[in-house]
A and B are shown apart, each in its own frame.
Chain A
Amino acid sequence: MQTDPVREDPELLTAVAGGDLGALRVLYDRHSPWLSARLTRRCNSPDAVADVLQDTFVALWKGAERWRGEGEVAAWLWGIAIRRLVSRLRGRREVLVLPLEEVAAARAPEASTEDMVLLGVEYGDLGAALQRLSPEMRAVVQATVLDGLTTREAARLLGIPANTAKTRLHRAKAQLRQNLTEGLA
């Protein structure tokens, strides 16, 4: 994967907005691998992931000028991709969205000590507190807090009513707060 060190992402976006297909290709090489890996963790259908990836870069091609020039281009791209995933899944129940813990549980029954160490480094008490949430609540926390979706979008992604998503997020926050204060005590 050769990347041109001279041309930064924002510069490439400007070129794409001007109709430079070569610049789109460089951006694609840089961002499609991690985007596809991240989407695959949220959706079990390779076809759906491929469609979403295609939609994302076509949207980028058509709307590169919409980037405001603030923050990471990667974060902006993820925002497009996760919303494309949500709309791709609307009304298509054959595509299953796997909450992360189900993917992990299916393939790795036990968390290794190494994981726990890494967790401690990255999240400390918060990591442990997150892990104590029920899978349903964690899925909502992940979709909203980590993926940056609104509760409405998260509900659509997870296939639950919007109000349920809202309630779960609310409860999850309360539980996290409680777990963290208990941890301090």
Chain B
Amino acid sequence: MNVSWHADDDLLTRYVSGTVGPLDGASLEQHLTGCADCRVRIATHVDVAPLELVWSRVREQAQAPAPTLVERLLTGLGVSASDARLVAVTPSLRTSWLFGLAATLGFVGLGAAYGGTRGLTFFLLVAPLVPVAGVAFAYGPDVDPLYEVGVAVPYSGARLLLLRTAAVLVTSLPLVLASALLLPGLSWTAVTWLLPALSFTALVLAASTWTRPTFAAVGLGIAWACAVGAAALDRDPYAVLAPTALLVYAVTGIAAVLILRLRIRRLTPLGSLS
């Protein structure tokens, strides 16, 4: 690089303030690319305050933990980075939860396949409650270690709950469905359990506008266990998935969604604590 020519202070001042002509500017730019001395000198003409601000952002980003696989997948799908982080830290999305879920389903599925009526009862008992438990453990003071922090931030609790519900359904339903479809002898039951599952999920969401989602899920779980148990005592576990029962699930599910829509603003963190 030819270093016999250097920019004078006047040229640098006019360049930084934007009053330099196009050709002087272009000429200086080409020179700056190759001349460390002039780069040092132009720094004295540039306002440092905004640069310090940018540096603090750079440092923050450089020190931030690398996004997890789930986060990168979600941002790839168009979810914003902050939402992706919120979904990725959902307690019921943790690997251990998914592993436990898969193991439970494995045993229940085997029972259903080879254990006759009793095995089928177990499948009916567990499968619709899986997404319910997942949703209940996705949000709220009982399970979220960041819940207290979340109360203090200006982020809608409803948005958080719905985001995580979507994430839980997307991860847990295919697992249960796959295990059900792999089983011989379940036929329509392999699909129809989805209706009570979705209906119960909506019920838990609606109930969490009054109480903690975990309470709602436990109550619903007990009620469902009683219903399946009663049907099993009658030697007809399929009764819980009879057409009339399915209609009831559909109606309650739709009602729950409507209630949720009406009361979703009540889903403030403080409201669900009370």
- Please state if B62 and A104 are interface contacts (CB–CB under 8 Å): no
Supposing A25-B55, A32-B55, A122-B23 touch, asked if A41 and B18 sit within 8 A by C-beta, the answer is yes
For the complex, is B82 an interface residue (Cβ under 8 Å from A)? Answer: no
In the assembly, what is the distance between CA of A93 and CA of B43, in Å?
A: 30
- Please state if B62 and A30 are interface contacts (CB–CB under 8 Å): no
Shortest CB–CB separation between residue A19 and chain B, in angstroms? 9
Chain A, interface size: which category? 35 or more
Q: How many residues of B contact A (CB 8 A)?
A: 41
When C-beta atoms are compared, the residue in chain B nearest to A16 turns out to be: B62
For the complex, is B26 an interface residue (Cβ under 8 Å from A)? Answer: yes
For the complex, is B40 an interface residue (Cβ under 8 Å from A)? Answer: yes
For the complex, is B51 an interface residue (Cβ under 8 Å from A)? Answer: yes
The total of interchain contacts (Cβ-Cβ below 8 angstroms) comes to: 126
- Please state if A30 and B39 are interface contacts (CB–CB under 8 Å): yes
For the complex, is B46 an interface residue (Cβ under 8 Å from A)? Answer: yes
Name 26 A/B residue pairs within 8 A (Cβ), A-sorted.
A30-B40, A31-B39, A32-B54, A32-B55, A33-B42, A33-B48, A36-B51, A36-B54, A37-B15, A37-B42, A41-B18, A54-B57, A74-B34, A100-B26, A101-B22, A103-B18, A104-B22, A104-B25, A107-B17, A107-B18, A108-B19, A108-B20, A119-B23, A127-B23, A131-B23, A142-B22
Q: Which chain B residues have a beta carbon within 8 Å of chain A's beta carbons?
A: 5, 11, 14-27, 29-30, 32-34, 36, 39-40, 42-46, 48, 50-51, 53-55, 57-59, 61-63
Q: Which chain A residues have a beta carbon within 8 Å of chain B's beta carbons?
A: 1, 3, 21, 24-25, 28-34, 36-38, 40-41, 46, 50, 53-54, 57-58, 61, 72, 74-75, 78, 100-101, 103-104, 107-108, 111, 115, 118-119, 121-123, 127, 130-131, 138, 142, 146
9 A-B pairs with the lowest CB-CB distances in the bound complex, closest first: A33-B43, A33-B46, A100-B22, A1-B43, A107-B19, A122-B27, A57-B58, A61-B62, A108-B19
17 further interface pairs, Cβ-Cβ under 8 Å (given A30-B40, A40-B18, A101-B22): A21-B59, A28-B55, A32-B51, A34-B39, A36-B46, A41-B15, A54-B54, A54-B58, A57-B55, A74-B33, A108-B19, A115-B23, A119-B21, A121-B5, A123-B27, A130-B22, A146-B29
